[in-house]
Structure formats: structure tokens, C-alpha cells
A and B are shown apart, each in its own frame.
Chain A
Amino acid sequence: MSQTVNTKRSQREAAGPYGKLGHSLNELDDRLGVAKGGRTFLDKIFPDHWSFMLGEIALYSFVVLLVTGIFLTLYYIPSQDLVTYTGSYLPLDGQKVTEAFASTVNLSFAVRAGLLMRQMHHWSCDIFVGAIVLHMGRVFFTGAFRKPRELNWTIGTTLLILAIVNGFLGYSLPDDLVSGTGIRIAYSIILSIPLVGSYVAIFLFGGNFPGTDIIPRFFILHVLIIPLIILGLVGAHMGLLVRQKHTQFPGKGKTEKNVVGSPMYPVFMAKTTGFMFVVTGVTALLGAFAQINPIWQFGPYTASRISYAVQPDWYMGFLDGALRIFPSWSFHSFGHTIPLEVTIPAVIFPGILFNLVMVWPAIERHITKDNELHNLLDRPSNRPKRTAAGVSVAVLCSMLFIASSTDVIANFLHLSLNTVLWAMRILCVVLPFLAYPVTYKICREMRAFAGAGKRKTPNVVMRTAEGEYLATAAPTYVDDDHHELEALTVPTFVQEPEVVAAEGGVRRVPR
């Protein structure tokens, strides 16, 4: 055995053909054994389809939320102590406001890039929840939640609920007039829970509304506890995705036993990193040009003041709409009250809705008796009943969302509030029931139509001298053919083609 001399040359030889990079990887592999797993990771295949990017939007807007949120915590003071505002926003000068409100106004006006960060934070929250909902729709309508991915569906639904809750908590933190009214409504909703409502509400608020504990408590929930749970669940969501591999739409060469698409490195990595930049960029542009939640215009929260024609963030809209249109059916008996006009739309309805979504994979498995593993996605039209059920729920939630602006609609259309209210009540009940058969029928028709969902190939139409029209298939472009190529296992080594020896006197110029 020859003695190893630690010279530069021996180091270079030990590193092999890949130089310093190879040397570092060797050292790492000696200790952790990363080579094989690392390469499997780099070779990991991601199927290409635009709808798979919806989840990425959610992921990257969460990254934006974390970064901008950390910035905001450096300047925001979670306290309901009263201070006299003496900042640069003159209309509020000298007013008694809570520290939470004053610090939010200050970080908007006095901190460099503060307003941008705040608006980006708010926008990315709206985008986050929106992307989750769309991603969920994609997963639902294509059947991606089926065995073996039921657990990831449940995690995803939990993430949606947590995102909505944390959005509401964050929206409440500036302690402005509009968000304060939102907290008041939340308190009343908790009060409406039979038996334990008043205990839960008063424990949560540290006394009767408003008290001085709720902003600090919401703060710690908003910046630590719930983000931590979200982060953990996002990790689990991604981990399961890697372990179970991505689903794919059926197509040439795509089976239940393989994944066809682009490799993680470099193709998917380039696209997804670029996409992260774009999500961040668009959020920053929105933060720059689209004002959101100008709390200095709303003013500080005072329990006896109220603003008019304000709506909560969009993801709370369906709850607010349900509260508006539900009839005043309070239950009084046996010395107790159950405020059904609140309990049903704001507690029982969302409870049923989210539980139904959560257990849908089990329901569907029970109905279809299908216990197979599925890696190929459904076309929505091929599962008319599921699609119809999903559309029905989506229509219900959309109608409730619209119902959250009955007053604005009445104003805008010059109708009486009463007309709009009754119209929304009827639409919210009737349209979901109408949506089911209509969607079902459309799906059936689409399924019956041969070639449905396939891209139409272009034809060249010619008119002969006699006036006869002839259609022939247009010649395909070379690039359109590449999907017809047989999929290739990601190669480990790429061999440069042999250079053909040039003939004497002929110089070959690369094109």
C-alpha cells in the first residue's frame, strides 16, 4: 500500500475528473453518503402541465409572506396600550391610538420600504389563499387525491384552514377600525357556540370584549404558532410529494408505473426558481401600484365607531355572506338561547364544509368501491358525478361570496336592499342544485364527443377550380413532433458526438 502524500497533485488525483467540486462531494459522501440519493433527487422527474404550477404559486407566496412578515415584526408593537400619535401622518396627529395601530402607521410611513413590505405581505396573503383554493380545485377535479394520496389531501385542506385563520389574525393586528369590527364579529361568533361559547370567548379575549389581551395573543398566534404549524405541514406536504411522486395526465408513454416530464436539475429547477422570482415580482408590483388596507384612512379602532360598505379579505367573504343572508332564526327555550342566526352560518356551515372536503377521498372510495392506486389523472369530464359535486360546492361558495356585498350591489344597481337580499337567498339555495345536473350533462356530452379534449390538428383547406373544398391535414412542425419521441431516462453522462474529420480544404463552420 503506497503512502499517501498530501501534495497538491495527490489531492487533484484524489478528486478525480471533477476537480474541487468532485473533491468536496467526495468528502461529503464519505460522511453522509449523499452521492446516490443526491443524484436520484437531481434526476427526479416533474411532469409538465400548467395546472401543476398552482401549488407552486402557493408555496412561493408563502415564502414571500415569511420574508416580508419577518420584516414587519421588527417594527410592529403588539400592544393595546394607548399612546398619542405624533408621526408623519398629520390627520392622526395628537390622537390617542393603540401602540399596535401607531406602530403600523409608523412602519408604513417612517420605515424605509415599510409600506411596500406591508402591502406585499397583505397581497401575498390574498394570493396564498387564492392559490391554495385553485390548487385544491385542480387536485379535486383531476382526482389526484385518490389512493395513495389521501393523506396529502388532508394535509392540504388543513393548510387551507390554517391559511384562512392566520390571514384573519394578521388582518386584525393593525387594530384599525375595520379589522377591530372584524374581531368584534369573531367574538360574537364564538359567543354563539352553545354551552361553552361564552367561556371560550372570554378565555380567549382575557375578559369581555375588547379587553387588552387580544392583540398580543393574536400576534403570537399569527407570527409563531400557526406559521410553525404551516411550515411543518408544508414540509410534510412536499415530503409526501417526493415520496409518492407526482401524478400525471395520461398520454403517450405515460403509465401508472412511470413519470414523464422534465428532470429536477436543471430544467425544473430553472423553471421553478424563475417562477418564484415572478411570483415575488408580481407581488412587489401589486404592493407598489395597488393600494391595500390603508389603515390610516380607516383610523384606529374604537368600539362605538363603525365604517360603512367595507368587506373583509376575500377568503372570509363566503362566511360574511352566509351571515348576511341567513334568516333571523334564534332559538330561545328552557332558559337558554342558541343564536342559530349566527351558529348555523358561521360555525356549523363551515364546520360541515371543511369536514366534508377533508373526508371526501374516503367518501368517494366508499361510493366507487375503488381501492386501486392511481397515478394517472382523470379528465374532469370523465368523472361527471365528482365534477358536478365539486362545481356545486364551488357555486355555493361563490354565491355566498357575492352575498357578502349585498349593500354594495344594491347601491350599484339602484335596487332595494330587500330585493338583493332575497335574490341572494334564493340564488344561494337554487344555483348549487342547478349546477349539479347542468355540469353532469355537460360532462356527459363532452365524453360522448369523439376526440374531446384533444388538441385540434390544423387543416389546410383548398378550393378547386370547380368550387369544391378539400381539407387535408396541415404539415406538422418539427417541434410539434418531439412529444411523440420516446421518453428517455435522464442520462448520467452526456457524450460529445465525434467530430467528423473535415475533408481537405473544406472548413466546417458551425451554423
Chain B
Amino acid sequence: MSEHDQRTPVVLSTVSADDPRLQPAARHPELVEKVIAFTFIVGILLVAGFGACFWVNAAPWTLGATLGGGMTFLGVGLIAWGKYLMPRGPFVEERHTLASSPDERNAFAAAIAERGGSVVKRRKVLGGLLGAGMGIFGIVAAFPLVRSLGPLPKGTLFHTDWVKGTYLVDITGRRVHQDDLAIGSIVTVYPEGLENTDNGQAVDQTVLIRISNENFVTQKGRETWGPDGYVAYSKLCTHLGCPVGLYEQEMQLLVCPCHQSMFNVTNGCIPQFGPAPRPLPQLPLQIDSSGYLQSQSGFNQPVGPGFWERA
């Protein structure tokens, strides 16, 4: 048997053109042909219109309307051509078994196991060394790929830029004075000098709310943290770190718009509702001799969402 004969034979068949299976599916092919011709003409006009609209720099919707309309008409015409005017069939082809004969399978396995495997078995040391080399290369190659990507976390996630005596400034860099906010007002504040930095905005962002006229105590042990009714909390939601941007003044709630966690402002921002697990960390405040607001210290715990190293 020659090489060619071993391939699957292909049937070369002849069928008469008036075979019912070669007839179009449409009951009135001439009518369908006219309809398709019409959709093609509309399609051509619209596609050409796209070119014209582009040429004269027409409004974007005209570009989309002509391109989309043109493609849709051409496509519908082509589908109709295939569905109604081409041989309706049905046609059939055989499925050939993909699996090989047991002999061929064994031969394949033997080629791998015996030809290759026996060579390795005979030279175990060489095989081992090659394996070790590839393994070490694999591990070492991962070093630059992974480790060069960024710095080690170290204290990054634990600290903010708030320290003892940092002035609170708004987004324009103006210090906040004790007379600035009316009761029930809120402003986002940053450590002075960092209001326009990534870190200042993403990590240090803090909300300052004036609750009353007098020193406000949100929790036991925080007796001096709210001078003149000013309280400050980290603006990073403890759920996923979205800015807690909504202040519901009547109910004294801070609401996170992402997943609707709610924090009670008068009670140390303990979560009242939603998926946030921890209160928003509070920033202890003090007022300097000229009446400007300062932090007494940094936050007493890491801000934002939870992570493994956090105690």
C-alpha cells in the first residue's frame, strides 16, 4: 500500500442539480432574492454614508448609526441568502473515531517510556542534574519577575502621616480654624503639606465633623479628643477602603457609598450597619493657641481594610 492509500478516502460524489436537497428553502426564491437585494442596497448606502459622515466629521451618533445600520443590513441579507436561497439539505458527514488502535497506543507509549525513559534510567545522575538545573532556574527566574515589582510592605500599611502636632488642612492647603465649621458641618482634611500627594489623599484622608460647641467625648478614654465639638475619623472604610463620603447629619451617621457600611459618629464610629467589621479609627484633636486644629498624635490603629499582619 502506498502512503496515499492509508489516508481516509474522500468520496467524490455527483448529485443531480434538481435533487430536492439542493433546492433553496424559500417558497418564492425570486421574491426573497429581491428582498435580499434591497437589504444589500440599503446596507451599501449606509456603509457609504459612514464614509461620508466620517469625511465631514459629523456627530458621533451618525457615524455609529450608518456603520451599525449598514453592517446590520448587509449581515441580515447575507444570513437570509444562506438560509433561504442556498441548498437546504439536510447534509450529513460521518464522524470518524478519534481513538487509535490498541497497537498504535502501545507503540506510542513504548516510544515515550522505552526509548526516552530507558535513556534516562541508564543515566540517572545526568537526569537528576538536568532536573535540578531546570528547577533552580525556574525558582531563580521568578525572583526578578516578582521581587522587582515593588517594595516590601514593612510598616506601610500601619502608619499614616499624622503625628503629634500636625495641622489639619483642607484640600486647598488652608489650616482649619476652630471657628471655621458650623455645627453639623463636615470637611475632608489632610496633614499639612500632604494635601495634594497620593499618600495624603489615599491614606491620610480624614473627615472632620463639628458635632457641638463643647468638648465632645465619643468613647470612654477619649475625653480630650474632641475639643470644641470637633471630631475627626479616618475617611477610609474599614471594609474595602472606599472614602466614607456621605454624612447623614440627622442620624449622625457616616455612610460608605460603596457597600453601605454605616458608622455612628457620636459613638466612636462603631459600625451600625453593613459589612464593615471595625470602627473608623478616630484622630485625637487639640486646638493650638491661635485657634487652629492639630492632631494630638497619629491614629491609634491602622486605617482602612483588614490584612493579615494587622493585630
Contacts and interface: CB of A to CB of B under 8 A. Distances in A.
B152 interface: yes
A421 B260 contact: yes
B32 interface: no
A282 B68 contact: yes
Interface string A184-212: 11011101111111110011111111111
Among B82, B91, B278: residue with most chain A CB under 10 A: B91
Contacts of B306: 191-192, 330, 337-339, 341-342
Contact of A492 (B12, B60, B78, B239): B12
Contact of B308 (A194, A268, A489): A194
A181 B245 CA distance: 12
B98 A274 contact: no
Interface of A: 36, 39-40, 43-45, 112-113, 115-116, 119-120, 148, 181, 184-185, 187-189, 191-199, 202-213, 243-245, 253, 256-263, 266-271, 273-289, 302-310, 320, 323-330, 332, 335-339, 341-342, 375, 406-407, 417-418, 421, 478-479, 482-483, 485, 487-497
Contacts of B95: 245, 256-259, 375
Contact of B82 (A193, A271, A309): A271
B240 A487 contact: no
B72 to A, nearest CB: 3
Interface stretch (B131-139, B197-205, B223-231): B197-205
A120 B73 CA distance: 18
Interface in B282-311: 304-311
Nearest to B195: A304
Contacts of A488: 15, 19, 21, 89-92
14 contacts: A36-B7, A198-B156, A209-B202, A211-B150, A243-B98, A258-B93, A267-B82, A281-B70, A289-B64, A307-B257, A330-B277, A339-B277, A342-B305, A488-B90
Given A258-B94, A306-B245, A336-B310, 7 more contacts: A198-B156, A211-B150, A256-B95, A259-B93, A270-B81, A271-B83, A488-B21
Contacts of A285: 64-65, 68-69, 72
B257 A337 contact: no
Contact of B240 (A119, A189, A304, A418): A189
B125 interface: no
Contact of A36 (B10, B19, B171): B10
Given A342-B305, A497-B16, A266 B201 contact: no
Contacts of A198: 153, 156-157, 307-309
B89 A487 contact: yes
Contacts of B123: none
Interface of B: 7, 10-22, 25, 27, 54, 57, 60-65, 67-83, 86-95, 98, 146-147, 149-153, 156-157, 171, 188, 190, 198-199, 201-203, 205, 235, 239-243, 245-246, 257-260, 271, 273-278, 304-311
B1 to A, nearest CB: 17
Contacts of B16: 494-495, 497
B305 A289 contact: no
Contact of A342 (B14, B57, B94, B239): B239
B162 to A, nearest CB: 14
Contact of B198 (A210, A417, A478, A482): A210
Nearest to A196: B308
Contacts of B73: 281
Contact of B61 (A288, A407, A494): A288
6 nearest CB pairs, A to B: A288-B64, A277-B75, A274-B78, A284-B68, A270-B82, A281-B71
A289 B21 contact: no
A92 to B, nearest CB: 17
Contacts of B156: 198, 202, 207-208
A326 B64 CA distance: 42
Nearest to A326: B275
A205 B150 CA distance: 7
Contacts of B70: 281
Determine which residue in A207, A273, A274 has the highest number of CB atoms from chain B within 10 A of its CB, and name it.
A274
A45 B93 CA distance: 6
A342 B10 CA distance: 60
Nearest to A273: B78
A226 B260 CA distance: 33
